[in-house]
Chains A and B, each alone.
Chain A
Amino acid sequence: MNNTTAGSDKAAMRRTDARTRDRIVAFSYIAGIVAAAVVLAALNPSGPLGFLQAVSDGLRLGLIIAITGMGLSLVFATSGIFNFAHGEFATLGALVAWWLNTALGIPLVLTIVVAIGIGGAAGYGSEHAIWRPLRRRGVSVTSALVVGIGLALAARSVFLFIVGGNSKSYAEYTVQSAISIGGIDLLPKQIVSELLCVAVLAGLGLFLKLTSLGQAIRAVSDDPILASASGIAVNRALSTVWIIGGAMAALGGALLGLFEQVSWEMGNQLLLLIIAGVTLGGLGTVAGAVIGSILVGIVTQVSVLFLPAELKYMTALALLILILLIKPQGILGRKQRVG
């Protein structure tokens, strides 16, 4: 009798050990990054204030990346498909907001709301028209990737077709005077954007944690077969994920248009950043996507202090490659087969 209790106690201890080990590893990654940040703050040519300004700008970018990329991460977690066309939802959102704003004169705030709705509809549409039939046929991972590539190419070209190749701007909020807080310049639209992003992310977190549909989505991402064997309508959960993902990405694209030019290839530029963000944080984890995306945003902006501005995306990409080589599951990711 004593052996068995000791045995199960040992097993329990090993489990706690493994969990503590995971936590320590994640913590040390974050600690390492913070330490690097402190060093950079001290050493950079623009001084600590310039560093903090970069961090603030990076936060703005990072939150937008988080919102845009969340759908990619959730879709991967629940259906195992890595959708290379996800960035196009962002372009769609930005273009819808821009067109309604400039061509029809509707206030930008309203057009952004419409953009969110259209993004959600596009997500639902692509799931039903393309991805569900593919899954039902049993496509391989490679096929799914290629379909995503084809979709991205087609969508991008449709956008080019409709709006032409020039970059555009919204009709409102183009120029604002910055508010200075503690020496850092903040644009009012930036504050609004960041607060909105945080609110949406918090809302998503609450949805996933508290509602039964949200819990069902988490269950499906843990184990789709067990989910259906528990009576969960997996298809409904997946549709919801696509709607949310498309809507959030459209919002992200629309918000990005406040700070950068709106163009037919916005999604392409964003795509690599969101890949970096969600993979860095851990594909399939919501918290990971947020942390990773914010990190990517900050790293991108901070690198401008050291490197020419045109190379700023390079550091984010380099970070992606680095994490894929060291810990492909990302900072918060769970151990899964990656090779």
Chain B
Amino acid sequence: MTTTLDQNPLGQKIALEDTALHINRIHRQYGGLTAVDLDEIRIPRGKLTALIGPNGAGKSTLFNIVTGFDKPDDGSWAFEGTNLAGKQAHTIARLGMIRTFQMTRLISGQTVLENMLLAASRQRGDSLTRAWWHPSWKNEEAENTERARELLGRFKLADKAETDAASLSGGQRRLLEVARALMARPRAILLDEPLAGVNPALREQVMQHLTELRDAGMTILFVEHDMDAVMGLSDHVVCMALGKRIAEGTPQEVASNESVIDAYLGVHTSGNHRSPMPLAVTSRSANSKVPTEPVLRVSSITAGYHPDRPILNGLDATVSAGEVVAVIGANGAGKSTLLKAVAGLVAVGSGDILVEGKSIVKQEVHLRMRNGIGYVPQSNNVFPSLTVMENLRMGGFGHRRHDDAIARVLDMFPHLKELLGTPAGSLSGGQRQSVAMARALVPRPQLLLLDEPSAGLSPMAQSAAFATVADVAESGVSILIVEQNARECLAMSHRGYVLEQGKVALSGSGQSLLTDERVIELYLGAMKTKRANQLMESEKESSEHTTD
């Protein structure tokens, strides 16, 4: 019997008959943005496969498409031989592919046990005609209840069976989601960030359970950002970036793959960057009357979208006049949340935020914007139905003489001059980025908050965006910049903070962080391989050559 061994383009060998989920080709576009653009991928049966990649790589979109929650523009995929394209989500679930979501989803107001029973597969009582007649589904319900209790016991949630599901902690919720998935008698489980929000104590439990499931023969595909978990758990890894697959193989192979490291930390073309201006020269600091007080001081803040699930856990940071400060870190570390907390878009639980010594924690968002802060969000950063000129005017709202201010800003962004009458919604990503930054600069802020200005941009547009940021910095504005492209960002910053789990894990000057090995660890886990070390060496050499 000959086994068909196909080699996929990256040289990995997975036999067709060992494939649980066979993706032929999937293409998904949102307007001008390519979300997913994949060729053949084979997810092996009975193994733990991790799907990794930086923000915006298309992982969640792929999950949604494969499980029927989103329609691709083109493509086909099959699960255990059954073609899934065009099938509805509930049909795919019934075929045995059970998924979880990025944010834990439970039915609040119902007990944990009831949540489990919801997932039981093929219940007779599901049909309306049989639901009336209790005896027809009584036995099955009893069996399901027993099975549910047994599963809950396995996951150490038995004592929570009768409590409201909403009362579970983050880690317990993730455990419940896995237990619930098992109630559905799946043939494959797709987990979206199963370790997100799980405290370290329960993390080991979740990972243990996944390993045991794999040992029992379950196919598991999971998205994760926790690189230590990925490396420790998975048998097979697929890495995506910008919608495409860029690496695939064993964890070690993928971790040492240069394009993977580049995808996470950004490409840093040495010799092409501009080092930040030395602080003493900037006109702002020469003119400022109170040079001693930092422009921004963040003092031990906790903040988050839900009061009981904080993302920032006692974070401290400062930005001095004229500085460019980078904020980098893995997904979920709290970078965007930090900016939003300063802007006022996220509730701050404890701690303080001071701008030039004055606390702004109680101030409304638009007042902060009028008192010296400018904020450029990552996405949704322009008003699509307003023209470029009108967008800029919104930056000057409430100020007098904003025509002068707008003219001044346009000098900094000359390519916008010919786009003034165009609706912002029809601009490219790079152009929108310019408009958003220009708008934030109209009221002459002291502090500019930039959330991933290079996100979603083509490499050329990214360079242009960074060049613009450098220009803005030279004009004396203090900048707090969050970036995925950590290297490029650090190269042009005076200082940087590396966040982990809502706290500052590392800080230092931009240059020192650029060559600090620990930064890679924080992103990609303790994946120190020879290759990564080699990269570090070449970095050190090039930066020595280009010192100003």
Do A and B originate from a single complex?
yes
Give the interface of A toward B (CB within 8 A). 1, 4-5, 7-8, 10-12, 14-16, 18-19, 212, 215-216, 218-219, 221-223, 225-234
Give A11 to B345 CA distance when docked, in angstroms.
Answer: 31
CB distance from A214 to the nearest CB of B (A): 10
Give A229 to B459 CA distance when docked, in angstroms.
Answer: 28
Return the CB mask of B438-464 against A: 1 if under 8 Å, else 0: 011001000000000000001111000
- Do the beta carbons of A212 and B393 come within 8 Å of each other? yes
CB distance from B278 to the nearest CB of A (A): 32
Question: With contacts A222-B383, A225-B345, A231-B397 known, is A8 near B458, CB below 8 A?
Answer: yes
Q: Of B390, B397, B426, B443, which is within 8 A of A16 by CB?
A: B426
Return the CB mask of B341-381 against A: 1 if under 8 Å, else 0: 00101000000000000000000111001100001010011
User: Which 7 pairs of residues, A with B, have the shortest CB-CB distance?
Assistant: A231-B369, A11-B32, A222-B383, A228-B365, A4-B460, A219-B383, A228-B366
- Do the beta carbons of B32 and A230 come within 8 Å of each other? no
- 5 A-B pairs within 8 Å (CB atoms) are namely A7-B458, A15-B31, A212-B397, A231-B369, A231-B394
Give A221 to B383 CA distance when docked, in angstroms.
Answer: 9
Interface of B is mostly: mixed
Which chain B positions have C-beta within 8 A of A10? 32
- Do the beta carbons of A231 and B366 come within 8 Å of each other? yes
A232-B394, A232-B398 known; 19 new pairs, CB 8 Å cut-off, are A8-B460, A11-B428, A11-B429, A215-B386, A216-B394, A218-B383, A218-B385, A221-B385, A222-B384, A222-B386, A226-B377, A226-B382, A228-B364, A228-B366, A229-B366, A231-B366, A231-B369, A231-B394, A232-B397
Does B430 sit within 8 A of A, measured CB to CB?
yes
- Do the beta carbons of A5 and B460 come within 8 Å of each other? yes
Give A14 to B92 CA distance when docked, in angstroms.
Answer: 32
Give A225 to B381 CA distance when docked, in angstroms.
Answer: 10
- Do the beta carbons of B31 and A223 come within 8 Å of each other? no
Does B476 sit within 8 A of A, measured CB to CB?
no
Which chain B positions have C-beta within 8 A of A12? 32, 428
Task: Give the total of B residues in contact with A, Cβ under 8 Å.
Answer: 37
Give A212 to B397 CA distance when docked, in angstroms.
Answer: 7
Does B251 sit within 8 A of A, measured CB to CB?
no
Question: With contacts A11-B428, A212-B393 known, is A231 near B370, CB below 8 A?
Answer: yes
Q: Of A7, A18, A215, A216, which is within 8 A of B31 by CB?
A: A18
Does B395 sit within 8 A of A, measured CB to CB?
yes
Question: With contacts A19-B426, A215-B386 known, is A229 near B32, CB below 8 A?
Answer: no
- Do the beta carbons of B426 and A15 come within 8 Å of each other? yes
Q: Of B364, B380, B397, which is within 8 A of A216 by CB?
A: B397
Which chain B positions have C-beta within 8 A of A216? 394, 397
Which chain B positions have C-beta within 8 A of A232? 366, 394, 397-398
CB distance from B150 to the nearest CB of A (A): 37
Give A16 to B426 CA distance when docked, in angstroms.
Answer: 7
CB distance from B35 to the nearest CB of A (A): 13
Give A232 to B381 CA distance when docked, in angstroms.
Answer: 14
- Do the beta carbons of B443 and A223 come within 8 Å of each other? no
- Do the beta carbons of B345 and A229 come within 8 Å of each other? yes
Which chain B positions have C-beta within 8 A of A4? 458-460
Give A16 to B425 CA distance when docked, in angstroms.
Answer: 11
CB distance from A182 to the nearest CB of B (A): 39
Give A15 to B422 CA distance when docked, in angstroms.
Answer: 13
CB distance from A335 to the nearest CB of B (A): 10
Give A20 to B395 CA distance when docked, in angstroms.
Answer: 30
- Do the beta carbons of A8 and B426 come within 8 Å of each other? no
Question: With contacts A8-B460, A12-B428, A232-B366 known, is A227 near B32, CB below 8 A?
Answer: no
- Do the beta carbons of A215 and B426 come within 8 Å of each other? no
CB distance from A299 to the nearest CB of B (A): 28
CB distance from B136 to the nearest CB of A (A): 33
CB distance from B340 to the nearest CB of A (A): 9
Which chain A positions have C-beta within 8 A of B384? 222
Give A215 to B395 CA distance when docked, in angstroms.
Answer: 11
Which chain A positions have C-beta within 8 A of B430? 8
Which chain A positions have C-beta within 8 A of B375? 229
Which of B31-66 touch A at CB < 8 Å? 31-33
CB distance from A197 to the nearest CB of B (A): 24
- Do the beta carbons of A8 and B428 come within 8 Å of each other? yes
Give A221 to B461 CA distance when docked, in angstroms.
Answer: 29
CB distance from B219 to the nearest CB of A (A): 32
- Do the beta carbons of A215 and B385 come within 8 Å of each other? no
Which chain A positions have C-beta within 8 A of B461? 8
- Do the beta carbons of A230 and B397 come within 8 Å of each other? yes
Most A C-beta atoms less than 10 A away, residue of B385, B397, B429, B460: B397
Question: With contacts A15-B426, A19-B426, A216-B394 known, is A230 near B31, CB below 8 A?
Answer: no
Which chain B positions have C-beta within 8 A of A226? 377, 380-383
- Do the beta carbons of A14 and B370 come within 8 Å of each other? no
Which chain A positions have C-beta within 8 A of B29? 14
Which chain A positions have C-beta within 8 A of B343? 229
CB distance from B359 to the nearest CB of A (A): 19
Question: With contacts A4-B460, A12-B428, A233-B366 known, is A223 near B380, CB below 8 A?
Answer: yes
